[in-house]
Chain A
Amino acid sequence: MSLIEDLIEKLQWLPGIGKKTAQRLAFFLQKMDVGRIKELTDAILKARLELKECSICHNLGETDPCEICSSPNRNRDMICVVEQPADVMVIEKIGEYKGLYHILHGVISPIDNIGPEDLKIESLIARVKEQNVSEVIVATNPTTEGDVTALYIARLLKPLNIKVTRIARGLPTGSDLGLADTTTILRAFEGRNEL
């Protein structure tokens, strides 16, 4: 295998990179400054080696426990459950939520061979039991898998007498009712609030 073929094949290890994209990237890299390439590969390696999974919330960070879990300014009786570390970044960007997180690293999907035991659900239950948590907000994605995962977690937490909530789903802000699809409108009606 030639050097370029080898590179193209390895680039395809990354998610979302098919053959075409891999080819484009490989030839782009050939034109790139060697110093820049070194910066890139160093960053990849450094992140991979030095990022730690937080032993409390399973988020990725430079310290264990992570910055959020060890912060004195966070509200410790609230836990927001999300699918992926990227979801934490999205919610943190808004800056409104002051509680803690718990990252599942996936959703339940039996056809993909992912059961509850493959996710960080057990540690969530243990956490809730140990800490004095008053509310668990489940913010998994509004997909069938996300819904099932949310309901499963709710079932496990219910005997502990803890308030379990699910983030609302409905219409995007600034949009028009006429442009929304029926399922979204239906959900928006189900999740209506009193004014």
Chain B
Amino acid sequence: MILQAIEYEGFRNLINSRLTFCNTLNVITGNNGAGKTNLLEAIFFAAYCTSFRTNDDRNMVKFNEPYMRVTAISEDTTATVFYNGTKRMVINGNEKSRLSEYIGWLPCVVMSFNDIWMIKGAPAKRRNFLDWLLIKIYPAYGSHLTEYRKILRQRNTILQQKKYHASLLQVYNDQFIQHGNLIYAHRRKIVPILKEKIGIVSKDLGLDGISFEYLSSCPDMMITSNDLKKVEPLEIQRGETIIGPHRDDFTINIGGRPAKQYASQGECRILALLLKLIEREVIRQKMNQEPIYLIDEATLELDHFRRKRFFELIEGQIFFATVQEFDELNFRNKKRFVIKEGLIAVS
């Protein structure tokens, strides 16, 4: 997939404009706070109707503006997302009422400086990675996840009530199992693929002995009413649901030992990139498309060899935000943008 152009209005600090891109490397340079990440975010927003940085869409609307709009154009698609408190999505003139009908037209892989928290941080970061990967390849997964979270919140509320409602809890248990297993069914499909890809991609990066392990809170990645019955007393005591896809995690192991505890800063950085390169492999395999790459200072802290290898591995269209250009960015074809206080100019 090639993103040919983008148009934006009322988006963060960016001054309303239209940009056309080149097919290979697009380098966006500028000082801190100039708006480099905002441009990457605008592209992501046109692809997935949401942000990779904030959960609140209102944060993306420019201060004192009533609305924002981003239109992205590829060879065969023109897609617009409009937001003024409610969101509207249009693809080639057809308004889409559901997110799952909209997303998927422009597969993106985001590589950010913060990806390192997928390795070093809390399990929620890793679940978020898995969930987003699944949303990208099975858009309906997003609505399954929303339903699951709703049931989960309702069930937790019942568990917190002083006089909990036993027969109502039963109904929620059935619903929880049904929705939870739908999430598990998707994750079961993806885990073997991740295990396979991690071996291949880590060798490409010159890494050895790397493996992926899914840590499930339920045996065999499946919730049964028996499992739930066993933990029920503890759940009532703690007032929350303690098993299910929302409590799972995964670990990347180096030589059989979890990276979270044993890897160095530089190793964590390269492992974070490794996960994103696996995401790319999965998207390529499942969607038969090359995604576009939104890279936000993700190669900092890498040694010269790894950085070079990284750019050799990526074949698709790249949007690279950086404070400073460096030698590895000397592609034959590239387009350079300079951003200053939200104003983007071709240089």
Binding site for B on A (CB under 8 A): 108-111, 115-116, 144-145, 147-148, 151-152, 155-156, 181-183
Q: Across the interface, which residues of A come within 8 angstroms of B161, CB to CB? A: 110
* A181→B140 contact, CB < 8 A: yes
List residues of B (146-203) whose CB comes within 8 Å of A's CBs.
147, 150-151, 153-155, 157-158, 161, 165, 167-168, 170-172, 174-175
Determine if B154 and A115 form an interchain contact, defined as CB atoms under 8 angstroms apart. no
* C-alpha spacing A116/B166, complex, angstroms: 12
Whether B224 sits at the interface, judged by CB under 8 Å, is no
Whether B165 pairs with A116 at a CB distance below 8 angstroms is yes
Q: How far is the CB of A142 from chain B (nearest CB, A)?
A: 11
B101 touches A181 (CB 8 A): yes
Contact (Cβ within 8 A) B171 A151? yes
Interface residue? B289 (CB, 8 A): no
Contact assessment for B168 and A115 in the assembled complex, using a CB-CB cutoff below 8 Å: yes
A152 touches B154 (CB 8 A): no
A144 touches B150 (CB 8 A): yes
| Interchain CB contact under 8 A, B175 and A151 | yes
**Nearest 4 pairs of A and B residues by beta carbon:** A110-B157, A182-B140, A151-B171, A152-B171
B interface with A by C-beta (< 8 Å): 98, 100-101, 139-140, 143-144, 147, 150-151, 153-155, 157-158, 161, 165, 167-168, 170-172, 174-175
Q: How far is the CB of B333 from chain A (nearest CB, A)?
A: 38
Interface class of chain A by DSSP: helix
**Alpha-carbon separation in the docked complex, A111 to B152 (Å):** 10
Flag if A183 contacts B165 (CB, 8 Å): no
Residues of A within 8 A of B144 (CB): 183
CB of A115 to closest CB in B, whole Å: 6
Report A-chain residues with C-beta under 8 Å of the C-beta of B100.
181-182
Query: How far is it, in angstroms, between the C-alpha of A108 and the C-alpha of B150 when the chains are bound?
Result: 13
Residues of B within 8 A of A111 (CB): 153-154, 157
* CB-defined contacts of A108 to chain B, threshold 8 Å: 168
Interface centre among A111, A144, A183 (most CB of B within 10 A): A144
Question: Is A109 touching B154 in the complex (CB atoms < 8 A)?
Answer: yes
Nearest CB on A from B171, distance (A): 5
Question: Are B147 and A144 neighbours in the complex by a CB distance under 8 Å?
Answer: yes
The closest CB in chain A to the CB of B158 belongs to A110
> With A110-B158, A156-B167, A182-B139 given, can you name 19 additional A-B contacts, CB distance below 8 Å?
A110-B154, A110-B168, A111-B153, A111-B154, A115-B165, A116-B168, A144-B147, A144-B150, A145-B154, A147-B175, A148-B151, A151-B171, A151-B175, A152-B168, A181-B98, A181-B100, A181-B101, A182-B100, A182-B140
A110 to B153, CA, bound (A): 9
A116 to chain B, nearest CB (A): 6
A182, closest chain B residue (CB): B140
In the bound complex, residues from chain B placing their C-beta under 8 Å from that of A183 are 140, 143-144
Question: With contacts A110-B157, A155-B167, A155-B170 known, is A144 near B143, CB below 8 A?
Answer: no
Q: Judge whether B171 and A148 touch: CB under 8 Å.
A: yes
Q: In the bound complex, what is the Cα–Cα distance between A151 and B151 (angstroms)? A: 14
* Complex: A116 Cα to B165 Cα, angstroms: 9
Distance between Cα atoms of A183 and B139 in the complex (Å)? 11
Give the shortest distance, in Å, between B166 (CB) and chain A (any CB).
Answer: 11
Nearest CB of A to B28, in Å: 36
Distance A151 CA – B168 CA, assembled complex (angstroms): 9
Chain A residues positioned under 8 Å from B154 (CB to CB) = 109-111, 144-145, 148
CB nearest neighbor in A for B178: A147
CA distance in complex: A115, B155 (Å): 12
B66 to chain A, nearest CB (A): 12
- A contact residues around B139 at 8 Å (CB): 182
Q: How far is the CA of A110 from the CA of B144 in the complex (A)?
A: 20
What separation, in Å, do the CA atoms of A111 and B172 have in the docked complex?
Answer: 13
Whether A144 pairs with B140 at a CB distance below 8 angstroms is no
Closest Cβ of chain A: how far from B336's Cβ, in Å? 41
A144: chain B residues within 8 A (beta carbon)? 147, 150-151, 154, 175
Contact of A148 among B143, B153, B157, B172 (CB under 8 A): B172
* 17 pairs from A and B in contact (CB 8 Å cutoff): A109-B154, A110-B161, A110-B168, A111-B153, A111-B154, A144-B150, A148-B151, A148-B172, A152-B167, A152-B168, A155-B167, A155-B170, A155-B171, A181-B140, A182-B139, A182-B140, A183-B143
The minimal Cβ–Cβ distance linking A169 to chain B, given in whole angstroms, is 14
* Most chain A CB atoms below 10 A, which of B155, B161, B165, B171: B171
Q: What CA separation (Å) do A148 and B143 show in the bound complex?
A: 18
